[in-house]
Amino acid sequence: MQVQTVNKYAVRKYNEFGFAISQCEIALGAVELLIKKCSDVDKKFKSPMAATKDELLGFQKRAQESLTDLRVAARKYQIELQSKGWRV
C-alpha cells in the first residue's frame, strides 16, 4: 500500500516539475518578444551597467538552451523512473 502512495507521489512531483519547465519556457518566449519590441537607449542616456538589446537576447537564448537541456535530462530520468516503477 505504501509503495503505491510513494509511486503516486513521485509521478505527481515529476508532473509538477514538467509543468514548471513548460511555464518557464512560456515565460522565456514572452521575454524574447518583449526584448524584440524594445529599442536600444540613446547613447547619451545609456549607462555602462545596462545591457544592450543584443546582450539581452543572448541571455534569453542561453536560458532557453539551459532549460532545453534540463528538459532532455528530465526525460531521460523519466524513462529510468518508469522502468523502476517510479521508485526513487
Instruction: State the total domains in the chain.
Output: 1
Is the residue at 79 inside a domain? yes
Interhelix angle for 53-83 vs 2-37, to 10°? Answer: 160
pLDDT of residue 2: 60
- The parent domain of residue 62 ranges over 2-83
Distance CA 29, CA 60 (A): 9
**Residue pair 87/3 in contact by the 8 Å Cβ criterion:** yes
- The predicted model scores a pTM of 0.77
- DSSP letter assigned to residue 42: P
Within-domain flag for 52: yes
* Rounded mean pLDDT, 24-45: 85
> What was the pLDDT predicted at 45?
66
CB 31 within 8 A of CB 64: no
In a domain, 88, yes or no: no
